[in-house]
């Protein structure tokens, strides 16, 4: 199967703190690291590590700088088919990330070159035909919405994580095959607070107004999902595989793991179990790209 990710490549600047500072406050940080990231790049790398039988493509932009060269070099080495253009007018996207000792993160994204991922720059032939297209929201929303809308004509399944949540009303989203959101994003789209699995079940029918299958990830509480036409939602508990040190990239890996299994013809329950184990490993490691596991690690974790 051909799986294409259209999305961001970021250089992540990660500072670990005991507690995040308040306005006007200065705190001593515990650690500082740089990592490869960007939701698009993380998903492409995760797909390539988790599904050797599929053909993985990444469409995106980097700046003409050392960050861009590093990111594209490592993705190429990982076997991702690169449709990544270097733009002179912007720097490579960055994410400034604060990680608390609990593993909880706060991310500030600077789009930079990612804002140049437009349908003018990338004609349809860069992403169609594809069996699956994965999209997030760190490139222009018009690009994402246009590709989702066109996918119907190409019989391409769309997997959409609208993160960070745009200002556009959810009712205006084009219809996707899969929408995958965390609890905060689910609340932003549906207006239903999602503090628990029971509340997440209530958000699912509202999410299904804009997709065929809705998935809500709830961190340590697990994941719920529902398909159009099915009466009962599904539930997969979280799979704990060690101490949580950094949750960055867990959502991206979850999405990619789910998609790799869908492309291999697995049932939703099987996809969710595999994806829960994949993100269960990611949170035990630091960084986004650097913490993504290989396929066999997940199989071993599930034994
Ligand atoms: O989802 C994690 C990613 O979000 C990070 O790698 C960062 O680059 C931001 O895009």
Any bridge partners for residue 95, and if so which? 12, 109
Ligand 1 proximity of 259 Cβ (cutoff 6 Å): no
pLDDT reported for residue 102: 84
* Tens digits of residue pLDDT in 1-22: 999 999 999 999 999 999 999 9
Instruction: Inform me whether the pLDDT recorded for 52 exceeds 90.
Output: no
Instruction: Inform me whether the pLDDT recorded for 83 exceeds 90.
Output: yes
Residue 95 alpha carbon to ligand 1 centre in Å: 6
Residue-averaged pLDDT of the chain: 97
Instruction: Inform me whether the pLDDT recorded for 55 exceeds 90.
Output: yes
Does residue 252 have an active-site annotation?
yes
Nearest 5°: phi and psi at 204?
-60, -50
pLDDT reported for residue 101: 84
Residue 231 alpha carbon to ligand 1 centre in Å: 34
The answer to whether the beta carbons of residues 280 and 238 sit under 8 Å apart is yes
**Residue 110 contacts by C-beta under 8 Å, 6 or more apart in sequence?**
93, 94, 95, 96
The enclosing H or E element of 84 equals strand 81-87
The answer to whether the beta carbons of residues 113 and 40 sit under 8 Å apart is no
Residue 253 alpha carbon to ligand 1 centre in Å: 11
Residue nearest to atom 8 of ligand 1 (CA): 38
Residue 105 alpha carbon to ligand 1 centre in Å: 10
Of the chain, the percentage scoring pLDDT greater than 90 comes to: 97
pLDDT reported for residue 104: 85
Ligand 1 proximity of 247 Cβ (cutoff 6 Å): no
Ligand 1 proximity of 43 Cβ (cutoff 6 Å): no
Ligand 1 proximity of 138 Cβ (cutoff 6 Å): yes
* Among the listed residues 65, 133, 135, the one whose alpha carbon sits nearest the alpha carbon of residue 93: 65
* Tens digits of residue pLDDT in 200-227: 999 999 999 999 999 999 999 999 999 9
Count Cβ atoms below 10 Å from residue 163 Cβ, excluding itself: 21
pLDDT reported for residue 171: 97
* Among the listed residues 54, 79, 75, 96, the one whose alpha carbon sits nearest the alpha carbon of residue 9: 75
pLDDT reported for residue 118: 98
* Tens digits of residue pLDDT in 254-278: 999 999 999 999 999 999 999 999 9
pLDDT reported for residue 103: 85
């Amino acid at each position: 199967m051909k799986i294409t990710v259209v999305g961001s490549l970021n250089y992540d600047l990660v500072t670990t703190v005991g507690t995040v500072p308040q306005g006007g406050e200065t705190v001593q940080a515990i650690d500082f690291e740089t990592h490869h990231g960007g939701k698009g790049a993380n998903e492409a790398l995760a797909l390539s590590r988790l599904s050797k039988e599929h053909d993985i493509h990444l469409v995106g932009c980097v700046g003409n700088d050392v960050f861009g060269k590093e990111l594209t070099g490592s993705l190429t080495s990982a076997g991702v088919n690169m449709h990544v253009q270097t733009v002179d007018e912007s720097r490579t996207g960055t994410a400034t990330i604060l990680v608390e000792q609990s593993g909880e993160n706060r991310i500030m994204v600077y789009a930079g070159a990612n804002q140049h991922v437009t349908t003018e720059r990338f004609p349809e032939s860069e992403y169609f035909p594809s069996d699956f297209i994965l999209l997030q929201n760190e490139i222009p929303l018009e690009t994402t919405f246009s590709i989702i809308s066109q996918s119907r004509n190409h019989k391409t399944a769309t997997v959409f994580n609208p993160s960070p949540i745009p200002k556009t009303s959810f009712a205006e989203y084009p219809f996707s095959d899969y929408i995958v959101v965390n609890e905060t994003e689910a609340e932003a789209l549906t207006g239903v607070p999602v503090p628990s699995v029971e509340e997440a079940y209530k958000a699912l029918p509202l999410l299904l107004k804009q997709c065929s299958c809705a998935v809500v990830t709830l961190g340590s509480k697990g994941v719920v999902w529902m398909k159009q036409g099915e009466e009962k939602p599904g539930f997969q508990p979280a799979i704990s595989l060690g101490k949580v040190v950094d949750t960055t990239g867990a959502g991206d890996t979850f999405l990619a793991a789910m998609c790799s299994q869908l492309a291999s013809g697995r049932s939703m329950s099987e996809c969710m179990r595999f994806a829960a184990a994949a993100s269960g490993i990611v949170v035990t490691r630091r960084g986004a790209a650097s913490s993504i596991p290989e396929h066999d690690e997940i199989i071993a974790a599930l034994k």
